């Protein structure tokens, strides 16, 4: 089949909207300047690492290709790494391609589980990705494609499924982006090319289905969804008791997260200044994190008249250290999925107060969820004052713990992963 016929076939998929089809008609793929990118002669040794596999390839062992965002570890990428690790432990051969430029600070954590690892952004531009992916799947005899926050992989699916009809496709999504729908929107748009939608909350099932229904006038079949909560990604003891709040001791309110606009660390400062202004108890604030807003946050603290009551720690990867110092964790994010930090806090006996966004309501009680509006900081401060009463603290904590125990019944594990890959 010549390239012209392949292009015609590629553009004639059945259930894609006119909007998406028009994007492809304008894509560089239809240009005479398009060139094939061969995996075997285009890759450079400085951005590709391969293991020496001495054993003869056994086709009973499936080869799984993970296309991920980047080799940095936020909540979503931590889940991607945990997925790859579990697939490796189950005996699958794992191949990894990252598709967004980054400093690749955590690439070594991925290497030990992979046969081959590629930073595609150092190879070619996005317009060449479809043919690169075609050659990569063909050369490495890939059986399962697992998309983990990779936009260009979604857009390559109609082309890839044209040539690899037996290829099983799984995608994992975490968070709805309010501005453009984000990865759940792409998941809904390309659902006809995906076998399993792996989601971390019920909210995502509703969201993906709503987008698909609006676009194609039909629901996605329930058996295409695999709901796996992330409670298994942190150590949750069988018996958990809340922190002990002694009225004679200081209470520590904490922020733990990246210093980026999405996490709104500046709102935490506003909340704490309102709390300090009441001065009802010996309350202090502690801040863990790092990111592009670090200097801004430090300057804000230094200029605050309550500067002495803020403790700035910076980045800390030792979760036990973080939660040993915190009595109440505040999450003022403008958007979230269902934060791993919330699971970790509750597992360590810490109460969580959060903005009422994403699927936080599936884990936290309603009293600890604050509507994100112009009164958000005041309401957060009020909830902090309410919760530092020992009885209220315990009741709030046990309410969240009860919800956590329910979510554990549907947690991510090797069995659920096997089902996604084997069907």
**How confident is the model over 55-92, as pLDDT tens digits?**
344 567 799 999 999 998 877 888 999 999 999 999 99
Per-residue pLDDT at 288: 97
Rounded Cα distance, 73 and 91, in Å: 24
Q: 111 in the Ramachandran plot: left (φ > 0), alpha (ψ -120 to 50) or beta?
A: alpha
pLDDT at 332 over 90: yes
Q: Both 210 and 281 in a single domain?
A: no
Measured between alpha carbons, how far is residue 298 from residues 47, 141, 254, 276, 295 in Å? 36, 51, 15, 18, 5
* Average pLDDT score over residue span 205-220: 93
Q: What confidence tens digit (pLDDT) does each residue in 120-153 have?
A: 999 888 889 999 999 999 999 999 999 999 999 9
Q: Both 40 and 165 in a single domain?
A: yes
Q: What is the secondary structure of 132-160 as a DSSP string?
A: HHHHHHHHTT--EEEEES-HHHHHHHHHH
Per-residue pLDDT at 321: 92
Determine, yes or no, domain membership for 367: yes
* Average pLDDT score over residue span 312-337: 93
pLDDT at 20 over 80: no
Determine, yes or no, domain membership for 238: no
Q: Both 383 and 401 in a single domain?
A: yes
Q: Both 211 and 281 in a single domain?
A: no
Whether residue 397 contacts residue 323, with contact meaning beta carbons closer than 8 Å, is answered with: no
Q: Both 333 and 211 in a single domain?
A: no
Q: Would you call 331 helix, strand, or coil by DSSP? A: strand
pLDDT at 6 over 70: no
**What pTM was estimated for this model as a whole?**
0.81
Per-residue pLDDT at 59: 60
Q: What is the CATH number of the domain that holds 168?
A: 3.40.50.2000
Range of the domain at 372: 251-408
Count CA atoms within 13 Å of residue 407 on its CB side: 27
Determine, yes or no, domain membership for 38: yes
Q: Both 283 and 362 in a single domain?
A: yes
The structural domain count of the chain equals 2
Determine, yes or no, domain membership for 209: yes
Q: What confidence tens digit (pLDDT) does each residue in 7-17 have?
A: 444 444 333 33
Q: Both 127 and 176 in a single domain?
A: yes
| Structure confidence at residue 245 as a pLDDT band (50, 70, 90) | confident
Whether residue 403 contacts residue 364, with contact meaning beta carbons closer than 8 Å, is answered with: yes
Q: Residue 89 has what DSSP assignment?
A: H
């Amino acid at each position: 089949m010549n390239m012209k016929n392949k292009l015609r076939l590629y553009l004639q998929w059945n259930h894609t909207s006119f909007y998406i089809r028009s994007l492809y008609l304008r894509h560089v793929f239809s240009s005479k300047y398009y060139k094939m990118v061969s995996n075997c002669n285009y890759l450079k040794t400085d951005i590709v690492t391969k293991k020496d596999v001495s054993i003869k390839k056994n086709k009973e062992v499936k080869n799984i290709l993970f296309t991920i965002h980047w080799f940095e570890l936020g909540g979503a990428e931590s889940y991607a790494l945990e997925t790859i690790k579990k697939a490796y432990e189950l005996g699958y051969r794992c191949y990894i391609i990252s598709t967004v430029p980054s400093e690749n600070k955590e690439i070594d954590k991925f290497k030990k589980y992979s046969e081959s690892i590629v930073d595609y952004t150092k190879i070619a531009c996005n317009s060449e990705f479809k043919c690169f992916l075609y050659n990569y799947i063909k050369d490495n005899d890939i059986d399962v494609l697992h998309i983990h926050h990779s936009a260009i992989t979604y857009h390559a699916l109609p082309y890839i499924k044209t040539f690899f009809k037996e290829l099983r496709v799984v995608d994992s999504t975490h968070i709805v982006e309010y501005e453009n729908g984000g990865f759940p929107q792409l998941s809904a748009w390309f659902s006809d090319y995906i076998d399993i939608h792996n989601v971390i909350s019920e909210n995502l099932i509703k969201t993906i289905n709503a987008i698909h229904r609006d676009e194609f006038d039909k629901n996605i079949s329930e058996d295409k969804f695999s709901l796996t909560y992330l409670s298994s990604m942190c150590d949750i003891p069988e018996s958990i008791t809340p922190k002990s709040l002694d009225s004679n001791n200081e209470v520590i309110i904490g922020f733990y997260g990246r210093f980026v606009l999405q996490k709104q660390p500046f709102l935490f400062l506003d909340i704490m200044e309102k709390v300090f202004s009441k001065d009802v108890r010996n309350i202090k604030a502690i801040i863990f994190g790092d990111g592009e807003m670090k200097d801004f946050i430090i300057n804000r603290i230094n200029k605050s008249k309550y500067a002495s009551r803020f403790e700035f720690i910076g980045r800390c990867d030792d979760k036990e250290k973080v939660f040993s110092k915190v009595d109440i964790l505040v999450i003022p994010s403008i958007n979230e999925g269902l934060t791993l930090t919330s699971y970790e806090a509750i597992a360590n006996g810490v109460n969580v107060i959060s903005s009422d966004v994403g699927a936080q309501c599936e884990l936290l009680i309603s009293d600890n969820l604050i509507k994100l509006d112009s009164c958000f900081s005041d309401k957060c401060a009020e909830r902090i004052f309410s919760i530092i009463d020992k009885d209220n603290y315990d009741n709030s904590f046990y309410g969240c713990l009860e919800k956590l125990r329910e979510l554990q019944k549907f947690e991510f594990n090797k069995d659920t992963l096997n089902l996604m890959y084997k069907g």
